[in-house]
A and B are shown apart, each in its own frame.
Chain A
Amino acid sequence: MKSFEYGDGEIGHTEIFYAVASMVIAIGILNLPRDLAQATNYVDGVFSLIIAGLFAILFTWMIASLAAKYPKQSFYSYTASLISRPIAFVITLGLTIHFLLFVAYETRMIGVIAAHYIFDRTPIEVASFSFLMLIVYAVSGSHVGILRLNLMFLPIIVLIAITICLMNLAYFDTENLSPFFTTDLKGYWKGVQESYFSFSGYEILLFYIVLMNRPKKAPKFAALGMIIPVLLYATFYVITIGVFSYDTTQTMVFPTIELAKEVEVPGGFFERLESVFFIIWIMAIFNTAAMAYDVSLLAARSIFKKVKKKTLIFIFSPIIFLAAMFPQNLNEIRTMATYISYSSLFVVVFIPIVLLVIAKLRGIKGSE
């Protein structure tokens, strides 16, 4: 069936912009303020956060320009042309696993938070499983469809985030912010690390830029897309510290959800905003997980060309579920998150730099 060009396989720069923002906004923000507050003093963490954000924007730009160099070529194919087929195969396979783990982590976290804030007796497995099924439904549609979901959800997500921040202004105490610059350098560095991890996820660009109709615009809009989460997270952090003071922030499991809990809507239909917040945040987490799964399918299909997408989904989904249910408690989940973050760091910093350098050295030009 022939249909419109824009209805089919191609995406514009808007989709890339939204994709980066949606991918990054997810679980990270829920516990980021605590990790940051543990590393730094008072509101100093926001500087770490912004430095990490700048790094993230830089890397986003780098990755996007790498991928945009080879328009309409899959990651596997241009990697193969740069550094031989077997190495490209291994890297792509690694990326597939990396993204699958990502999905597993998000799936598990959904279960954990749902069980904590919404449910009492409903098992985590059920919450996670139904979420995973939803992702499976999403990825069995088109790639473009998933990117379009971002366009529909991200505004709602940003809106609820801003609402929470605004409503907390009533409890905001500027005195909680000062004194400034009391953290030592080591603390700042730790803060940068912690916040950098919460910005991971934009490595999806390696695979999504293939779908773009005008990839030259990709680096600019991807970097712009990264600015949204950086600003949002910074705002959240300042508000959290202002409302709770940094000592208290350190002691809460999910400070951001507590922030929503702090608010009491006067005369509203909903009294407990944290449930509404979390409910909306499920959309954010869904976007992230769905894109990660989608990208892992893209990666896997670029190396196993003959296998059908449906077959891959049927193979991957049980693996994801088992991986999601593997950690026993919050600490083990955190360990899992740390591993994912490190592999993400490897993916976004090491691989692109190496590839860019090799591309320069060997002078292989993409079909520009």
Chain B
Amino acid sequence: MFFKYFNNQRKQQNNQLNQSEQEDFKVQLFRTIDENIENIKKLYDSPDDLITRKFTIGNTNQECAIIYIAGLTNKTVIDNRIMQSIQIESVESGKNVEVKGDALLNTLHEKVLHSSVSKVVNNLDEVSLAILSGDTALFVNGTDKVLILGTKGWENRSIEEPISEGLIRGPREGFIENIRTNTVLVRRRVRDSNLRFKAYQVGRRSKKQLVVSYIEGIVNPDLVKELNRRLESIDLDDAPESGYIEQWIEDDFLSPFPQLSHTERPDKVASALDQGKIAILLDGTPFVLIAPMTFGNTLQSPEDYYERWIVSSLIRYLRYVAAFIAVFLPSLYIALVSFHPGMIPSKLAFSLAATREGVPFPALIEALLMEATMELLREAGIRLPKPIGQTIGIVGGLVIGEAAVRAGIVSPVMVIIVALTAIASFSMPSYGMALSFRMLRFGFMLIASVLGLYGIILGYIALNIHLVNLKSLGVPYSAPFAPSFYGDWKDLVIRAPITMLTKRPKYTQTGDTERMDNKGGNST
């Protein structure tokens, strides 16, 4: 409700702005080159990376001009393929370049230039967008049509191993900032004629390219429709990162949990597509969004499928335990130490009491102190250059912990608890979920310090209430536990052998449910 209101307001303001800017230049194309060049220069306010080159074709006096932005284009292509073709080849091969205006443009387009990516456009918006995207515009005197030549080419980061999702076993490729490369990476993994890339433009000003990818026939069409509806509603100035898109289309903005997962790994995207999910790629970021997601997904890593099933299942359990520790351990410690020491085995209780002897703070303050320090260290480690970052970790972890214990500010057990919690939250495969867990941890610590274990269980129930009401793109977040799809459990409770994972997940309600022949594998 509030959003719509704000949106309307913003729209009105934007319209006003656009109108005022439009006074300087004309939103149209002219028949003479000079006018066109002047107009476009005005449009961009003559930046020094806007290259305009006027020339006449061969020995005729046909005036032409190319306009492009330096750096966004591949200069070799422009020089060798465009300029050379027009100037030399056209004349030498005796093609008819004597005609004028439209006819000349067509000749150039159809006969002279051997660029596979080229098109004729006749409005300024498209010309402008093409120039800004790294294409070259060829103007010919005497026509208001413009030939757009594909000369995109700028420096890209090479394809590297993704930093945020390391694997021991698995492909080493990660997405990069260029959406073309990214779609290529996806296509190379899903060689299916039903793979669809649906393009959108996002951003009122920056007009970022956004591609929605799914496999027709597997994906539930309702999901695509719903996603389409949400994407259409996006009204942003600019989307520098897919996080903007995520936050715009998520179901519940009050929720502590991420409702779309993001990844840098093409293999993860490929397997998600295969499960009937939808990937959202945005130009300018290596992070691809995957929707819908469920709570169970956050504790899974692609490597689960690459290793043998027994190992993978056990590692999954390890992660479940880690998730539990990451959220509940400090609050359990507080509850047990401050409220229910009777629940701790006697000998442990006495030694806990001994270690806490002389600590001036109650357990809550002690825990908050240490957890806050931990968070600080983590934040500092991310911001600093890598080599120093690691040092900070060691200095902070060891020195501060040790010194705090020596000074009697915290008890040694607390240091163990905090360290364990930190390690557990580092082991989460999904960074977004790890962030949520960090946040929830503090909530549980506070409630544990008021009502002890009773508070923790109330908090746990509240969290579950939230989970069952939460949806990701209309799919219940708590699926396939509740609602139960027992068939999906073999990829959740355990990671069943690949030969047994014959069905696609039910919660995505796919069109084609069979993943392989029921008899699959050699294991018969």
A residues sitting closer than 8 Å to B (CB atoms) are 1-4, 6-7, 11-12, 14-15, 114, 118-119, 122, 126-127, 130-131, 134, 137-138, 141-142, 144-146, 148-153, 267-272, 275-276, 279-280, 282-283, 286
Contact = CB atoms under 8 A, between A and B. Distances in A.
Contact of B468 (A6, A119, A149): A149
Contacts of B220: 4
Contacts of A271: 342-346
Given A4-B222, A130-B451, A282-B457, A152 B478 contact: yes
B152 interface: no
B7 interface: no
B19 interface: no
A145 B469 contact: yes
Interface string B425-465: 00000000000000000000000000111111110011011
Given A148-B468, A149-B464, A7 B474 contact: yes
B465 A153 contact: no
Given A15-B483, A138-B465, A2 B344 contact: no
A133 to B, nearest CB: 9
16 contacts: A3-B474, A6-B476, A7-B471, A12-B483, A118-B453, A130-B454, A130-B455, A130-B458, A141-B468, A144-B468, A152-B482, A269-B345, A271-B342, A275-B453, A280-B457, A282-B461
A137 B345 CA distance: 36
B481 interface: yes
Contacts of A148: 468, 476, 478, 482-483
A283 B461 contact: yes
B232 interface: no
B85 interface: no
Contacts of B196: none
A151 B478 CA distance: 10
B509 A282 contact: no
A272 B335 CA distance: 14
Given A4-B475, A145-B469, A131 B482 contact: no
B482 A279 contact: no
A109 to B, nearest CB: 14
Contacts of B345: 267-269, 271
Contacts of B478: 148, 152
Given A148-B476, A151-B484, A275-B343, 11 more contacts: A2-B225, A6-B476, A7-B474, A7-B476, A130-B455, A138-B465, A145-B469, A148-B478, A269-B345, A275-B340, A283-B457
A141 B483 contact: no
A3 B344 contact: no
B468 A145 contact: yes
A328 B474 CA distance: 47
A126 B340 CA distance: 18
Contacts of B344: 269-271
A81 to B, nearest CB: 31
A267 B348 CA distance: 10
B165 interface: no
B226 interface: yes
A284 to B, nearest CB: 11
Contact of B343 (A1, A3, A144, A270): A270
Interface residues of B, number: 36
- Indicate the member of A6, A148, A151, A269 with the most B CB atoms within 10 Å: A148
A146 B461 CA distance: 11
Given A149-B482, A151-B481, A151-B484, A7 B343 contact: no
Contacts of A134: 458, 461-462, 465
Quick one: which of A7, A126, A130, A267 has the most chain B CB within 10 A? A7
The binding surface of chain B is classed by DSSP as helix
Contacts of B339: 118
A347 B215 CA distance: 53
Given A14-B484, A151-B483, A2 B222 contact: yes
B454 A118 contact: yes
Contacts of A145: 465, 468-469
Top 4 A-B pairs, shortest CB-CB distance: A3-B474, A148-B482, A151-B482, A141-B469
A114 B465 CA distance: 22
A3 B483 contact: no
B474 A4 contact: yes
Contact of A279 (B457, B469, B481, B484): B457
Contacts of B465: 134, 137-138, 141, 145, 149
Given A141-B469, A270-B343, A152 B454 contact: no
Contacts of B476: 4, 6-7, 148
A15 B483 CA distance: 8
Nearest to B342: A272
Contacts of A141: 465, 468-469
Contacts of B456: 279
Interface in B321-363: 339-340, 342-346
A114 B457 CA distance: 12
A347 B226 CA distance: 44
B159 to A, nearest CB: 36
A122 B474 contact: no
Contacts of A122: 451
Nearest to A286: B461
Nearest to B220: A4
Interface string B464-503: 1101110100111010011110000000000000000000
Contacts of A267: 345
A155 to B, nearest CB: 9
A7 B452 contact: no
A139 B509 CA distance: 28
A308 B452 CA distance: 36
Contacts of A130: 451, 454-455, 458
Contacts of B222: 2, 4
A1 B222 CA distance: 12
Contacts of A151: 481-484
B226 A131 contact: no
A142 B467 CA distance: 12
B461 A118 contact: no
A3 B226 contact: yes
A137 B461 CA distance: 10
Contacts of B346: 271
A31 to B, nearest CB: 20
A152 B462 CA distance: 13
A153 B484 CA distance: 13
A152 B469 contact: no
Contacts of B340: 118, 272, 275
A211 B225 CA distance: 26
B458 A152 contact: no
Contacts of A114: 454
B133 to A, nearest CB: 34
A22 B345 CA distance: 32
Contact of A3 (B453, B469, B471, B481): B471
Interface string B216-227: 000010100110
A14 B483 contact: yes
Contacts of B471: 3, 7
A138 B460 CA distance: 12
In the complex, which of the residues B451, B458, B471, B478 has the most CB atoms of chain A within 10 Å of its own CB atom?
B458
Nearest to A131: B458
Nearest to A142: B469
Contacts of B462: 134, 137
Nearest to A155: B481
A4 B509 contact: yes
B343 A272 contact: yes
Contacts of A4: 220, 222, 474-476, 509
Between B456, B469, B475, the greatest number of chain A beta carbons within 10 A of the residue's beta carbon is seen for: B469
The residue among B345, B465, B481 with the most chain A CB atoms within 10 A of its own CB is B465
Interface string B165-203: 000000000000000000000000000000000000000
